[in-house]
A and B are shown apart, each in its own frame.
Chain A
Amino acid sequence: MTETEVATAAALFEATLLGRQDAGATILLEFAAAAGAGPLKAPAPGQFYQVRCDTGKEHLLRRPLSAFGASAGQGGLRLSFMVDVVGWGTRRLSLLEPGDSVGMLGPLGRGFEVAGVRKALLVAGGIGAAPLAYLARELDRSGVTYEFLAGFRTVSGVCPGLDELRGGVSVFTEDGSRGEAGVACDGLPEILRRGFDAAFVCGPQEMMAAAAGLCEGAGIPCQVSLDSRMACGIGACRGCVKEGAGGRSLCVCLEGPVFDSRQVSWKKRTEGSGPALR
């Protein structure tokens, strides 16, 4: 394989924690790929990494985390993730200290498709804001205009860096502790009248179902980033598969996590499945 070919594929590599920022209910972790990891491709917004949480054999499954930010410069690949502590794996990641090393596999999956989009609508709920904040920064770089509706439970969960974005950002909190009181979808009916080329949505299942319904109703193509428990992350085990519209199987790790909202079956129960990308 040539270097270019290697650089286009998902890779297994070690990354060192550079720093952590405790952002209330969530933690922002910034990593640098270890020297010697070879040429690594930066993720597209919406792509994710399978992050190893355990160095022993008690917990074997990696946790899928969507990239919150990335840069592939001379110093190698740098990656950041927002982590919402919801279970064993994310708790373990939340205990990492600068200098600690973790195994990464990625970038994986299909990210948001932005080709041809001049005016975008971003709708996020909770930790779902992570991939969309990354998308927003990329849209800033390419001069695409957008509106970003971001909802959180309370002020301590608000995604960092939203103030620095150039697009229109509206923050909602369920308890009204920052921005408007309510959820991101509350802002949708009015803003949809402005017309958008595409909508990009990530959040809890019910929120995505509501947002997709409103966007589709307004004739705006909508892309949603699905969450699923994963084992392999590369389409081998079929553990993350969800039933899509028309009974089609959606392999979230390989064909997603981003799907056209019309491909998704929103009727499935969500109890028992984990919150957005642990």
Chain B
Amino acid sequence: MKNPVVLASGTAGYALEMAPLVDLSRLGAVILKSVTVEPGRGNPEPRIWETTGGMLNSIGLENVGVERLVEEVLPALSGLDTVVVASIAGETVRDFAKLASRLEGAGRLAALEVNVSCPNVEKGGIHFGCDEGATATVVQAVRENCSLPLFVKLSSAVSDISRVAEAAARAGTAGLSLINTIPGLAVDPVTRRPRLGAVTGGLSGPAIKPVALKAVWDCYRATSLPIIGGGGVYDAGDAVEFMLAGAAAVSVGTSTFQDPDRAARILEDLPAAIEKAGADGPRRLVGALKVNG
């Protein structure tokens, strides 16, 4: 990666949508929207609701499916001068194995993000990420079928994320991607209905930053894995905070809705923010949170 600022999965689509508006080649990497074995229809509308400092979504993994990703999306990204990471989500371990095997040798990809933490699907999703054993089984299945480095995307909505991270590490993941959206509910006090068609959704945006930072810090201390940290990253100061907590790279998601070019702006402002924190480069900051005096 040419730098540590990446576009998070989900908010940047398949990168093709963003490409006419922003210069993606400036970024460290783009993590594509999660794909499933078959194309996904997603959840009933409404699917989004703005909250203070963030938003709830219940998209429900609507996606083109792995076949179209390989046949149409990846070839269309051939001219893109940045690292491309695919994100995969399965309902079963078998699904993950299938996805991994289809992406083995598909070209264009530098790594896989293994999404075991989507809160918006009935099967799979966060149910895997809640369980150390299930997470390890998924990681093993993906590793057996694909030689690309893996980053497991975990949820903070578990009792002890560091134990899930350790299980993923033992199963051979190359790194971690933290965090997915946090399960939430918004209610219309007049109609008494939930704001989202799927009733509950996943919270993202600046409101979840403290939760994300703690998850990064916990996993950094528990494992020696490289971490892509994100959750409410809005400016270069946020990026530095994630690095201090232990993130080697920082992902920008919901903030791109306000400003599609936000990740590039963070990148521009990053050297000054790193200098302000008293370091001469991002690597010196990783995990350098001062907790003793």
B47–A239 CB distance below 8 A: yes
Whether a CB of chain A sits under 8 angstroms from the CB of B65 is no
- Using a Cβ–Cβ cut-off of 8 Å, how many residues does chain B contribute to the interface with A? 45
**Which chain A residues lie closer than 8 Å to B193 at the CB level?**
271-272
Task: Give, as a whole number of angstroms, the nearest-CB distance from B120 to chain A.
Answer: 11
Is B122 an interface residue when CB atoms closer than 8 A count as contact? no
Q: Are A249 and B42 in contact (CB under 8 A)?
A: yes
15 contacts between A and B (CB under 8 A): A10-B20, A12-B261, A57-B234, A61-B48, A61-B258, A62-B257, A229-B46, A232-B256, A234-B17, A234-B260, A236-B14, A236-B33, A237-B57, A238-B59, A271-B188
List which B1-51 residues lie within 8 A (CB) of chain A.
10-14, 17-18, 20-21, 33, 41-42, 44-50
Bound CA–CA A240/B59 (angstroms) = 9
Chain B binding surface, main DSSP class? loop
Q: A232-B11, A249-B42 are in contact. Are A60 and B17 (CB under 8 A)?
A: no
Q: Are A249 and B53 CB-contacts (below 8 A) given A10-B21, A273-B46?
A: no
A242 vs B46: C-alpha distance when bound (angstroms): 8
Q: Say whether B48 contacts A105, CB under 8 Å.
A: no
> With a CB–CB cut-off of 8 A, which chain A residues contact B206?
57-58, 60
Interface of A is mostly: loop
A54 interface residue (CB < 8 Å to B): yes
Q: Does A118 contact B (CB under 8 A)?
A: no
CB <8 Å contact, B55 and A236: no
Q: How far, in Å, is A275 (CB) from chain B's closest CB?
A: 13
A60 touches B45 (CB 8 A): no
**A54, A59, A60, A241, most chain B CB atoms within 10 A:** A60
- Contact residues in A for B235 (Cβ distance below 8 Å): 57
Q: Is the CB of B41 within 8 A of A249?
A: yes
Using known A-B contacts A12-B21, A272-B195, A273-B46, determine if residue A238 contacts B55 with beta carbons closer than 8 Å: no
Nearest-neighbour CB distance to chain B for A59, whole angstroms, equals: 6
Q: How far is the CB of B68 from chain A (nearest CB, A)?
A: 14
Minimal Cβ-Cβ distance residue in A for B17: A236
Q: Which residue of B lies closest to A11 (CB)?
A: B21
CB distance B57 to A231 under 8 Å? Answer: yes
In the complex, what distance in Å separates the CA atom of A62 from the CA atom of B48? Answer: 12
Are A236's CB and B13's CB within 8 A?
A: yes
Residues of chain B lying within 8 A (CB to CB) of residue A232: 11, 13, 17, 256-257, 260
**Smallest beta-carbon distance B262→chain A, Å:** 10
Query: A239 to B48, Cβ gap below 8 A?
Result: yes
Contact B258 A237 (CB under 8 A): no
